[in-house]
Amino acid sequence: MHSRVTPLASALRAIIVGLTVATASHAAMAANSQPATEQAPRQSYDIAAGSLDRVLGAFGNQAGVMIAIDSALAKGVQSQGLHGSFAVAEGLERLLAPLGMQAEYEQGSYRVVARAADGQVQLQATQISANQLGSITEGTGSYTPGTIATATRMVLTPRETPQSISVVTRQVMDDFGLNAIDDVMRHTPGITVSTYDTERTNYYSRGFSIVNFQYDGIPTLRDAQYSAGQTLTDMALYDRVEVLKGATGLLTGAGGPGGTINLIRKKPTSEFKSSIELGAGSWDNYRSQIDVSGPLTETGNVRGRAVAAYQDKKSFLDHYSRKTGVYYGILEVDLDPDTLLTLGADYQDSDPKGSSWTGTRTIFDPAGNKLDLPRSFNNGPKWSSWEQYSRTLFATLEHNFDNGWVTKGQYNHQINGYDAPLGYISQDTLSASSIFARKYTGETTSDSLDVYASGPFELFGREHQLVVGQSLSISKWKGKDYGSATYFDNSYDFYQWHGEAIKPLWNQPTKINDETTRQTGSYITGRFSLMDDLHLLLGTRIANYQVTGTSDTQESGKVVPYAGLTYDLNDNFTAYASYTEIFQPQTQYRDRTRTMLDPNEGKNYELGLKGEFFDGRLNASLAYFEVHEENRPIADTAYNSQPGVDYSYIGTKTQTKGYEAEISGELSPGWQLQAGYTHKIARDDDKKKVATWEPEDQLSFYTSYKLQGRLDKLTLGGGARWQAAGWQNVNNPGTRQSEKFTQDPYWLVDVMARYQLTENLSATLNVNNLFDKAYYTNIGFYDSAYYGDPRNVMVTTRWDF
């Protein structure tokens, strides 16, 4: 007898159970099953991922056994499926252990029950099938995900995904105080964070700028003005951040070769839970956060969650501060046992004062000498500000069919605005300095819709998986540039600069921007089971891209193929290969005439080996990659060295080759680790190195350990990141020549400690840049440099109730 699953309802209430790790896996099953695994006959299984109800039904039919499970326990749970040859008990263990369950043998049949918690991680214990986004990481205590869907829309384990992917889980964010997306990116293996000025950062993967963002899988391109708020995102709203390395055109359509950042929002819980956090740190950094979640009806068919955070912080930079307010609400409604409606909204304001601009500090003085300025130097006047806001409404509707298929529609409406009166002090001569100022205002309204169907199908006696979808996005940007300001008494002492300056009169706009970007795409992906251990992924996207208004460009019927192959070498290792093409209309990159560069096109190849240990609680990967580009954007340094010009780019043909390794998850009970190493070199057609500011080699590792015995209330952790030398050719105005400016290799060390004061109250100490290393996080932008943060401390208390 096999109970039917109701897909979500009160899923989490029944599913939050512990996951017993490898030390108890086969022994526990052998004790509760008959006959023993070692003596029982083995049978081949090829069962695709799907609802636990469907997967157990398929297993029972193929194995010829009866399997009983309480519908409350199975409700809404997603299984990874089963592939390979196993005895009955061993196969059930493979299916159920990652879900925190086990099968007990009872008079010729099996009953599925929750596995008793033993203090180890609960990986996938909070996974639900209805969101189709992979495993929830909140509450698992893990540094690795259970399943992910960023690459192909299919819910797969990292081992089953034929591309490199890094995931920063909720536990990593909580341990190391990663409250902003910049913090998360700095902790992500293989990612370089480059800071242009106080409000603008850029992320690089494998030496490429990441321009693709997703929110719950809905794709969006980072805008050309860095004014959509993506790089200022507060992490209070999110369960995890998935960073897919390499080209991702299958799901994103227009996309660069660097990768995609997918931010997965927190979901409501079916049991009441809430928390309050209060924090204080260096440079008058104060933060508060409240998070409340739970059922809103007696039956639990309506669940809600609300999150609010507020941060008021100053900086190591002179006369700079920023206030950030974040609000988030989400509802999940079970319209019937198989249909889920999700409605939500989020809101973020970023209000800075004393914003720096065009790089914070110039490298050379007018005579050609290197400037010796303190780390606290801020080139912006006190009135300089780049205020940004975002308002988002989103909705999803999904339905589960009895045959294992799921249909899902997602809609996202977002408004991003900015008001940026900006200025910086320019050293005109050794004895005279003045303010250069411009103002930018504008708003972007974006609407995105994605509809797809996913499920299993049979072909040639085997079960396979298929995803078919259609997407549409329209983004309208309207803005005004004020490039002809009237100054008052515009003369200042550069070496006695404290930000005191008279705000100019902006006059009438010098440029009106009115631009609409429209993308449509049809995509299909199949995962074909060629053998028990061999799977082929084939997909393609037909993309249409059009920009009208201030700039005009159009690409129609662009075919973006995707292919991947995985082969299970044994129980722990899988070899893989993947190929996809690059198609990136370059809205963000413009030449001297403000015309968009031609699309960046090319090919992305990857070969690798993935490892999965302790039933998925520890994942590892090793990859070799090559990227061939036809029109890579690089800075037009000769033009950009002139004062007052808009930053411009030129296109070039390049090849990038490299390899990377990563490991994440649980090494032993209570001991978590995330570490990675990346090496890459990019060269143009003349074999000259490009993208030299991003280091050729970088290493990162972060770990935490919850002590045992009498000290079990204490968790200690720490980590470091290292990068090799990076350099850039910058213009020296004194010599009127280009000079090589180098950032030497450096280490940065962070430490943390958490103490559980009571059952509900904890305190966490984070110390970043422990040894106060002075380093640049960017050089070359407008011939300037930007220092990374000095040593800083944050203490956070959390009360769960």
Contacts of 305 (CB under 8 A, 6+ apart): 266, 267, 268, 269, 291, 292, 293, 294, 328, 329, 330
Phi-psi region of 687 (alpha: psi -120 to 50; beta: other; left: phi over 0): left
Query: For position 1, what pLDDT does the model report?
Result: 38
pLDDT band at 91 (very low <50, low <70, confident <90, very high): confident
Q: Residue 664: what pLDDT?
A: 97
Q: Categorize the per-residue pLDDT at 428 as very low, low, confident or very high, splitting at 50, 70 and 90.
A: confident
Question: What confidence category does residue 223 fall into, taking pLDDT thresholds of 50, 70 and 90?
Answer: low
Q: What is the mean pLDDT of residues 789-796?
A: 98
The encoded tokens of residue 781 equal 């932008």
The span from the CA of 784 to the CA of 427, in Å, is 12
> Residue 570 burial by CB count (10 A; 0-12/13-18/19+): exposed, middle or buried?
exposed
| DSSP label of 76 | T
Distant-in-sequence, close-in-space partners of 571: CB < 8 Å, separation ≥ 6: none
Does the pLDDT at position 317 exceed 80? yes
Most trustworthy range by pLDDT among 45-54, 89-98, 253-262, 474-483 = 474-483
- The pLDDT of 174-191, averaged and rounded, is 96
CA nearest neighbour of 93 among 120, 67, 54: 67
pLDDT given for residue 20 in this prediction? 28
Residue-wise pLDDT tens digits, 332-378: 999 998 899 999 999 999 999 999 998 888 899 999 999 999 999 99
Greater model confidence, 652 or 401 = 401
Would you mind telling me the total number of residues written for the chain in this entry? 801
What is the reported pTM? 0.84
Query: Among 143-147, 245-249, 700-704, which range has the highest average pLDDT?
Result: 700-704
Mean pLDDT of 731-755: 93
Give per-residue pLDDT as tens, 145-160: 988 888 788 888 999 9
Residue 204: pLDDT band (50, 70, 90) is very high
In percent, the amount of the chain with pLDDT more than 70 equals 90
pLDDT band at residue 124 using 50, 70 and 90 as cut-offs: very low
What confidence score (pLDDT) does residue 24 get? Answer: 33
Lowest-pLDDT range of 305-309, 582-586, 739-743:
582-586
Q: Tokens 């930000």: give the residue.
A: 499
- State pLDDT tens for residues 430-473: 888 999 999 999 999 999 999 999 999 999 999 999 999 999 99
